[in-house]
Structure 1
Amino acid sequence: MNPNILNRNNINIKGNGEQAMIFAPGFGCDQTVWKSVSESFESDNQIILFDYVGMGKSDVKAFDPNKYSKLSGYVQDVIDVCLALNLKNAIFVGHSVSGMIGLLASLQHPEFFSRLILIGPSPCYLNDLPEYYGGFEKEDLIGLIDMMDKNYIGWATFFASTVTNNPGRPDVANELENRFCSTDPVIARKFAEACFFADNREDLPNVTVPSLIMQCSEDVIAPTVVGEYLSQHVPKSTITYMKATGHCPHMSHPEETIQLIRDYLGKVPSEVVLSPAYG
């Protein structure tokens, strides 16, 4: 193991199984968002939790504004984690933008992954009508990001509510808001720009690792039409429609999230899924 990467990305390894399972948090979040989901897999899997540089308890001094101005910087974090632990055929679970980060990492190193589980992914958040509907106009996203400069706390409150879109679970919105507020605003803005202005539609047909697309209901950030676009353009992909509303089902509806992941993995032959976690 590489101790520098272990510390830089605050890697934590839990669980008792042989199969490696990597959980990657979405924009502005750290590994703690997975607690309600990842613990359910510890008895059968080796759980890998990490923070992207600049998030959570990662080494903030390692943050390079040029490197992390594009998704490729975060893709490199995932690759570095896999290399540090010598992972092969791991199950990658990525929320939101981390779904695309994992997908891009699999294009460079397909041998690292046996399955990609993508929760609320989007290859492009911008509308490109009439060919593609991503959910946002460029002016809207520019305004949202400018708000981060002018009133970061106000942005955190507004965006957390928009992302969760679940009035019945204000606790989830508050939890997300607290994570946004604990992140350096400059770093958060860099990640936001890298996330919301990326366009990875052309990469989709090149994916070789089988994937599950978990599509939430009433998801403002990644609407159903986006999930269906992914399922049509990513080879070996399966889409499942969740009852969970909003964009953070691993936080608001962990039981359904766990069950759908188990259902998907249960359909995979054991000789394909099981592999040494690292060594």
Structure 2
Amino acid sequence: MFMNSELVKKHKISIEGNKNAAQTIVFAHGFGTDQTAWDKVKKAFAADYKLLLYDNVGGGSSDMAAFSPIKYSTLYTYADDLLAIANEFELKNAIIVAHSVSGMIALLAAIKAPHHFSKMIFIGASPRYLNDSGYIGGFTQEALDSMYETMRTNYYAWVSGFSAAAMGNADKPELGQGFAVTLGAIRPDIALSVAKVIFESDVRNRLKEINKEILLIHAHNDIAVPVEVAEYLHENISGSKLVFVDAEGHFPHISAPQEVISAIKDFIE
């Protein structure tokens, strides 16, 4: 099929794996990473599935000219981007594996156009990162404001600290350093704009609208998404399955890929 070269350039779209396979797996990365975050996981599915990987606008090797802080002031814009990709590649009943914010982006996309997706796997997803009355999200507004200020005044120092804390696995510092590379490659003003949109998003009121088979994968000691959030998602997404993998930090697909691969395979096969 003829591919929209502008869309491919916008998201650095990559089609890999078994291109003749009947089913496609879409891999969607989280904030501060890009599609290379899936390098250790995607190999396990390359023989049996067509694989579609892309970079969210504002991150990775996406077209930075496509980013606008006004346009990308809501997760719905990212969901529309995902649907544009799904339409272009005529995805039907695809499996999507989405990390962090891309979990809720995928959820919004599937609510709007359910035919594109069948099973959905969300890794370290959160419908709201801010604490609220009767809800533990993990962050206070004061903590976020302090983080934004550090991002504004000394971005690369923030990158160094945040990447290590979010990755965890202090015995494997190279993992945090790898995250620091992709996070540090983002233009500081774009990173700040995107961080605000993510950390102040709230899609709790949409959770009951999704009607898909959904696997929620969470790791232990995730500074971005506490266990209460995982349980909240499980309680509010009908029929969802919650699995805690033997891993720590916000990036189990990077730090413990085999655990994540096993959980996904148990769910989709």
Q: TM-score, normalised by structure 2?
A: 0.96
Alignment equivalent of 2:10, drawn from 2, 8, 19 = 8
Alignment equivalent of 1:79, drawn from 77, 80, 83 = 83
Matched, 1:127 2:119: no
Alignment equivalent of 2:61, drawn from 57, 63, 87 = 57
1:180 aligned residue = 183
Shift of 1:103: 0.7
2:143 aligned residue = 140
Once the two structures are superposed, the pairs formed by residues 1-279 of structure 1 within 5 Å of their partners are 1-16=3-18, 17-129=21-133, 131-266=134-269
Instruction: Output the CA distance in 1 between the equivalents of 2:156 and 2:180.
Output: 9
Report which structure shows greater RCO (CA 8 Å, sep ≥6). 1
Instruction: Output the CA distance in 1 between the equivalents of 2:228 and 2:216.
Output: 12
Instruction: Output the CA distance in 1 between the equivalents of 2:250 and 2:122.
Output: 12
CA offsets 1:198-257 (integer angstroms, 9 cap, x no match) = 011111011112100001111111111110100000012110111101110011000111
User: Quick one: percent identity of the two aligned structures?
Assistant: 39
Give the number of equivalent residue pairs.
265
Instruction: Output the CA distance in 2 between the equivalents of 1:83 and 1:184.
Output: 29
Residue aligned with 1:199, SS: coil
Instruction: Output the CA distance in 1 between the equivalents of 2:96 and 2:71.
Output: 23
CA offsets 1:31-83 (integer angstroms, 9 cap, x no match) = 01100001211100000010011211111111122111211121122111111
CA offsets 1:120-143 (integer angstroms, 9 cap, x no match) = 0110001113x1100111110111
Instruction: Output the CA distance in 1 between the equivalents of 2:64 and 2:166.
Output: 25
For 1:200, the aligned partner's letter is V
Is the Cα–Cα contact under 8 Å of residues 213 and 237 in structure 1 kept in the other structure? yes
Instruction: Output the CA distance in 2 between the equivalents of 1:178 and 1:6.
Output: 23
Where has structure 1 moved over 2 Å in runs of 4 or more?
Answer: none
Shift of 1:85: 0.8
What do you get for the CA RMSD once the two structures are aligned? 0.9
Residue aligned with 1:213, SS: strand
Is the Cα–Cα contact under 8 Å of residues 54 and 60 in structure 1 kept in the other structure? yes
Is the Cα–Cα contact under 8 Å of residues 79 and 105 in structure 1 kept in the other structure? yes
CA offsets 1:149-170 (integer angstroms, 9 cap, x no match) = 1000011011111211221221
Is the Cα–Cα contact under 8 Å of residues 125 and 222 in structure 1 kept in the other structure? yes
Instruction: Output the CA distance in 1 between the equivalents of 2:52 and 2:115.
Output: 17
CA offsets 1:78-112 (integer angstroms, 9 cap, x no match) = 11111111111110111011111111111111111
Instruction: Output the CA distance in 2 between the equivalents of 1:211 and 1:2.
Output: 30
Shift of 1:193: 0.7
For 2:114, the aligned partner's letter is P
Instruction: Output the CA distance in 1 between the equivalents of 2:165 and 2:203.
Output: 23
Shift of 1:185: 0.8
Shift of 1:18: 2.1
Shift of 1:2: 2.0
Shift of 1:12: 0.3
Structure 2 unaligned residues grouped into runs of 5+: none
Q: TM-score, normalised by structure 1?
A: 0.93
